[in-house]
Amino acid sequence: MLEATIGRPNGRAGGINRLVVLSAVLATALVVGLLVGLKLWSSPGDPGSFPSSVQIEQQYGVRFSRIAVVGDGGLITLTYVVLDSEKATRFQSDVGHPPELRSEARDGGTKRVSVMKQGHSLRAGQTYYLVYQNTKGALRHGERATIQLGDLALRHAPVL
């Protein structure tokens, strides 16, 4: 698509097209560069970056961003960024089917979620959270976990 447009530089309209496309390319490059830069910049100290799943993002409208053992070992926070307000609102309202957190190192997991309602509709771009009971110490600091959401799984998420 990009190639086709650039390959037709005839006349005024073509020139504008080219300008638009070039701007778009430059803008994209800038955004990608920024994202890569941010990722590189934020990676020192992180025990690995957080994985992502296009399928989960498309189906549930959320991007998981952190799993942390809190409450002196007794609780877990799962944070996520809202990408699609409508889907995410459905996701957080479905209190009967919370994501399950499973240790990849041992048998153990939890779906005992303390549903933390965050208002009626979730705003895109904003971070929200769930608090879990860390059932029988299911997850431990420093290991990796799988987030299971229906049929979809997000693997190798670092547990802070």
Give residues in contact with another protein (CB under 8 A).
Answer: 45, 66, 68, 70-75, 77, 79, 81, 95-96, 112-119, 125-129, 131, 133-137, 160
User: CB of 81 within 8 A of CB of 126?
Assistant: yes
Using the minimum distance from each CB to another protein, give the nearer residue, 68 or 153.
68
Pairing outcome for strands 75-82 and 127-133: antiparallel
**Minimum CB distance to another protein, residue 65 (Å):** 8
Those residues whose C-beta lies under 8 Å from the C-beta of residue 2, and which sit 6 or more positions away, are 21, 25
Give me the amino acid identity at 6: I
Using the minimum distance from each CB to another protein, give the nearer residue, 72 or 151.
72
Kind and range of the H or E run holding 111: none
**Minimum CB distance to another protein, residue 33 (Å):** 20
**Minimum CB distance to another protein, residue 118 (Å):** 5
